[in-house]
Amino acid sequence: MNEVPLTHILVLSTALFFIGMFGLFTRRNMITILMSVELILNSVNINFVAFNKYLFPEKLDGVFFVLFIIAIAAAEAALAIAIIINLYRNHQSIDVDDATEMKF
């Protein structure tokens, strides 16, 4: 049943998290930044399910956390895209370097 050790799944989700961080560091376009955030949220979900299955198999708390994270991620993506579309209407651009009005 548990032929693959837990550490390998955790290393996979760590790698996915840092790939998302790389996207956050290098991208300047708001939609691609949103994609990187989705990758990071997915790596957290893999962690929750793996811990639930390997360490606490008689409970289901990790599965419920994943369900709620997915619901909140959907709400977050919808709101972020509404903000991006509004910004595009005002600036004709969704580059984060162009949106500097609120910079102090």
**Nearest to other proteins of 42, 100 (CB atom):** 42
Please tell me the distance from the alpha carbon of residue 28 to that of residue 15, in angstroms, as a whole number.
22
**Nearest to other proteins of 85, 103 (CB atom):** 85
Minimum separation from the CB atom of position 92 to other proteins (A): 9
Minimum separation from the CB atom of position 98 to other proteins (A): 12
**Nearest to other proteins of 86, 100 (CB atom):** 86
**Nearest to other proteins of 1, 103 (CB atom):** 1
> What residues make contact with other proteins under the rule CB under 8 A?
2-4, 6-12, 14-16, 18-23, 25-29, 31-32, 34-36, 38-39, 42, 45-46, 49-50, 52-58, 60, 63-64, 66-68, 70-79, 81-86, 88-89, 94
In three-state form (DSSP H/G/I as H, E/B as E, the rest C), the secondary structure along the chain is CCCCCHHHHHHHHHHHHHHHHHHHHHCCEHHHHHHHHHHHHHHHHHHHHHHHHHHCCCCCHHHHHHHHHHHHHHHHHHHHHHHHHHHHHHHCCCEHHHCCCCCC
